[in-house]
Amino acid sequence: MLQELAIHDFAIIEQLSVDFSTGMTVLTGETGAGKSIIIDAVGILVGGRGSADFIRTGTKKATVEGMFSIPAGALTQNLLQHYGVGSDDDQDTVVLQRELFTSGRNVCRINGHLVNTSTLKAVGETLVDIHGQNEHQELMHPEKHLSLLDQYAADQIKPLLAAYQQRYADWKDLAGRVKERVANEREWAQRLDMLQYQAKEINDAHLQPTEEDDLTSERDRLNHFQQIQDALQTGYGVLNGDDDEAGVIDRLAEAMAALQNIAHLDADYENMAESLGNAYYALQDVGSDLSHQMDGLEYDPARLEQVEDRLATITQLEHKYGATVPDVIAFGQKVNDELDEMNDTQGSSDELKVKLAKAQTEALAAAKKLSATRVAAAKQLSKDIHQQLADLYMAKAVFDVHFTVHEDQLGPTGIDSVEFYIQTNPGEKLRPLARTASGGQLSRIMLALQTLFSQADGVTSIIFDEVDTGVSGRVAQAIAEKISRISRHSQVLCITHLPQVAAMADHQVHIAKTVKSGRTMTRLTPLTGTGRVEELARMLAGTTITKLTKEHAQELLRLAIQDKNAQAKEQTA
């Protein structure tokens, strides 16, 4: 339920804050006072299409904020948890905020958390259901009748529609692939040949990630064999000496022995002897390593040629497929994956056609199941609409849902084309509603549908924006009572010019337009007592309000109380 609404710099509204209550609240006032602007603001708040045109002239942004109460276990709570935007302090309320900037930027928040417009809309749709004058036009467009039927029986149809649409998507995907495969058979074959060649060339190379570095080091050693051999021999000779002269290790051993003889005389001598010992043993290790390297040193021209050839192969592959060996390996994996997809999942044209036929059969079966459920739902809808229309003084009208099934034309919503038909007068033929019903009849039929939808939608706030257009007299009274009944289980906000509807409300707010300092502003005034009688009298008589008009207004309020008391008794019975 919408509890509080705050609007800043939206259209002609500079600043507005209003509290709403349970039951039925009507917004009344002269045409152009800004009643529909408030509904537009609520629509923006719950994820409707935003525009910089909504921003008040001379300001940089418009802000709309609303606080809603949500019942325990409502879908809204599940969505808040799903998107991670629940309130830690109060699980029973949710605060939505939206800012529109002149730059076109949108900022949306749920409970203070930044969200995108899609998330705001997903949550908002569970809170508010807005029905405006333009929704009557849905009845004028037969292509929209199917969605209205699906909405009526959403619990039964929605899962079947989702299952069908998944099979339909699979069928469309396969159909597209078959079409592409047939149309591009030559390109497909060329692509397959190229991938097979690339895969063979890379796979046959048996590349290793560090291979290039290892081979480069080996090639450098072979190319500098003589230099390496000379250096090793020189180092070994200096350390170990020859027949004519002692080497560094032997001379170092003499120095170490001499200092060890005096090490006991002074700590410094002892430290120097120890350092010489460490150097002696370290050089012995180096000498051993030099000897080992010389023993294993061998020049192999054949091996050098093998290394050069291998490096040439790697360079060639790098020129084609990547800057480094790991890049070439990764490219090869990608090629193999694409080959697997082409060979395994795509299959041949014949295999694809077999899959396509199977997918079409499964989609058609799902479509038929969906269609049968729709036919059953249409029969129940006709019965329910008849009851609702009887309450709206159209008891003799006959409503029917006309089906056309196209089993050879699978579409996004199935195989059904649906159009509402109506017989408004006994003895006449059923005719398409879009070409038969008057404006007042359309209003009543749409209200009948909305009454049925509201019982199943689960939203806690329903907004009617002048849905009573084109009616008067007892029909207007019937519409008022119907809207009042809806408000027994959902909060209703209603914009109306009909005094019968306004009188049935539990709360009434008057909206007026004023000019201050050359700027147009909108003002809201809650009406009670005398103020409400005055407003109803204005709605009845226009500019001239007489004592009789006021008495008529009081009578409307008295009769409305009686009707609502009767509704309450029916509900508790």
**Amino acid type, 535:** E
Intra-chain end-to-end CA distance of the chain, in Å: 26
Q: Are the CB atoms for 470 and 445 separated by under 8 Å?
A: no
Return the half-sphere exposure (C-beta side, CA atoms, 13 A cut-off) of residue 122.
15
Q: What is the pLDDT of residue 91?
A: 74
Q: What is the pLDDT of residue 370?
A: 96
Q: Are the CB atoms for 175 and 356 separated by under 8 Å?
A: yes
| Residues making up the chain, counted from first to last | 573
Q: Are the CB atoms for 405 and 392 separated by under 8 Å?
A: no
Residue 301 has pLDDT above 90, yes or no: no
Query: If you ran DSSP here, which 8-state letter would residue 241 be given?
Result: B
pLDDT tens-digit map of 196-219: 999 999 999 999 999 888 998 888
Q: Are the CB atoms for 25 and 32 separated by under 8 Å?
A: no
Going by their DSSP bridges, the two strands 431-432 and 113-115 should be labelled as unpaired
3-state secondary structure 130-190: EEEHHHHHHHHCHHHHHHHHHHHCHHHHHHHHHHHHHHHHHHHHHHHHHHHHHHCHHHHHH
Distance CA 411, CA 380 (A): 25
Residue 458 has pLDDT above 80, yes or no: no
Q: What is the pLDDT of residue 507?
A: 93
Phi, psi of 108 (to 5 degrees): -115, 140
Structure confidence at residue 100 as a pLDDT band (50, 70, 90): very high
Distance CA 411, CA 235 (A): 86
Structure confidence at residue 367 as a pLDDT band (50, 70, 90): very high
Q: What is the pLDDT of residue 329?
A: 93
pLDDT tens-digit map of 314-355: 999 999 999 999 999 999 999 998 888 777 655 567 778 888
Q: What is the pLDDT of residue 347?
A: 57
Distance CA 556, CA 546 (A): 15
Structure confidence at residue 523 as a pLDDT band (50, 70, 90): confident
Q: What is the pLDDT of residue 468?
A: 67
The structure's pTM equals: 0.57
Q: What is the pLDDT of residue 481?
A: 85
172-186, 245-259, 362-376, 404-418: the lowest-pLDDT one:
172-186
Residue 565 has pLDDT above 80, yes or no: yes
Structure confidence at residue 50 as a pLDDT band (50, 70, 90): confident
Q: What is the pLDDT of residue 128?
A: 85
Average model confidence (pLDDT) across the chain: 86
Residue 454 has pLDDT above 70, yes or no: no
Structure confidence at residue 470 as a pLDDT band (50, 70, 90): low
Q: What residues pair up with 115 in beta bridges, in sequence order?
A: 108
Q: What is the pLDDT of residue 136?
A: 53
Q: Which of 429, 436, 467, 443 is nearest to 392 (CA)?
A: 443
Distance CA 559, CA 429 (A): 38
Going by their DSSP bridges, the two strands 398-405 and 519-527 should be labelled as unpaired
* 261 exposure class (CB count in 10 Å sphere: 0-12, 13-18, 19+): exposed
Burial code (b: 16+ CB inside 10 Å, e: under 16) for 271-288 equals ebbeebbeebeebeeebe
What is the rounded average pLDDT of the residues 39-51? 89
pLDDT tens-digit map of 232-281: 888 888 888 876 788 888 888 889 899 999 989 999 999 999 999 999 99
Distance CA 213, CA 534 (A): 95
Q: What is the pLDDT of residue 235?
A: 87
pLDDT tens-digit map of 133-174: 555 556 677 888 898 898 888 889 999 999 999 999 999 999
Q: What DSSP letter does each residue of 336-356 carry, written as one string?
A: HHHHHIIIIII--HHHHHHHH
